[in-house]
């Protein structure tokens, strides 16, 4: 039973390009969370999605960032027109039920904007 | 506004001794607290959790204590081992049963020396 899979592990983008980060939750999990970790900081919540629904996007920047979790396929975090400040580690977590005791995290995608 | 604070960025402990990691919070609405362990280049791994209705939870070598009046929790690791060396994050949720997001502290890097 594979864990939460994120790809790519490392992504380099030039300023102004688009970044697409993918997250495949654990088998059977229908709840996905995205977190961002800036250097020397803790993880910051971005968005919580269920299949085809955004439940809580209170941590998403108002512009350039979007997330989806389609009926089929992985969850996608999309960052348009990236800037240097978007450089961070982006982690995805999944859970089986809403409010499950623990969420399982993927290994993260490290985005570097040059 | 840092609602969850880990004031010690690092902690060094001798092998076999007890490690005590501390965490303070400001939001009295938090009802669930968790500790995660993170190795470099990996995602956080769930360690132990505690509900706000309890003041202690134990799992093997790990014990979490919660002092609601002081808004403080701590993680005790007995018989610390070099393999325990990692960054430890405490996290809190205000509505966990409804899938509430986790608010993370900045992390404490534990180093267990042989």
Check the CA dihedral A95-B94-A54-A13 and report its sign.
Answer: negative
CB B68 within 8 A of CB B52: yes
CB A45 within 8 A of CB B101: yes
Check the CA dihedral A37-A42-A47-A49 and report its sign.
Answer: positive
Q: Would the CB atoms of A43 and B45 count as touching at under 8 Å?
A: no
Q: Would the CB atoms of B99 and A55 count as touching at under 8 Å?
A: yes
Residues of A in contact with B103 (CB under 8 A): 45
Which pLDDT tens digit goes with each residue over B27-86? 999 989 999 999 988 999 999 999 999 999 999 999 999 999 999 999 999 999 999 999
Q: Which residue has the tokens 């570097």?
A: A112
Residue B65, token pair as written in the block: 């204590």
Which pLDDT tens digit goes with each residue over B5-21? 999 999 999 999 999 99
- Cα A57–Cα A62–Cα A66 angle in degrees, nearest 5: 60
């Amino acid at each position: 039973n594979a864990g939460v899979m994120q790809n790519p592990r490392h992504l380099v983008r030039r300023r102004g390009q688009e970044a697409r980060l993918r997250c495949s939750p654990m088998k059977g999990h229908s709840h996905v969370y995205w977190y961002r970790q800036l250097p020397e900081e803790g993880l910051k919540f971005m968005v919580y999605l269920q299949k085809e629904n955004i439940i809580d996007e209170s941590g998403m920047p108002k512009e350039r960032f979007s997330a989806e979790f389609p009926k089929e396929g992985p969850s996608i975090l999309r960052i348009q027109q990236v800037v240097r400040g978007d450089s961070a580690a982006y982690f995805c977590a999944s859970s089986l039920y809403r409010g499950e005791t623990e969420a399982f995290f993927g290994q993260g995608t490290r985005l570097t904007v040059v | 506004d840092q609602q969850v604070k880990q004031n010690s960025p690092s902690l060094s402990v001798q092998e076999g001794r007890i490690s005590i990691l501390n965490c303070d919070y400001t939001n009295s609405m938090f009802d669930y607290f968790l500790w995660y362990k993170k190795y470099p280049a990996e995602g956080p791994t769930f360690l132990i959790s505690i509900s706000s209705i309890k003041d202690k939870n134990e799992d093997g070598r790990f014990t979490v204590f919660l002092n609601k009046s002081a808004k403080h929790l701590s993680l005790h690791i007995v018989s610390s081992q070099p393999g325990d060396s990692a960054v430890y994050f405490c996290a809190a949720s205000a509505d966990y049963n409804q899938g509430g997001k986790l608010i993370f502290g900045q992390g404490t890097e534990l180093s267990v020396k042989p």
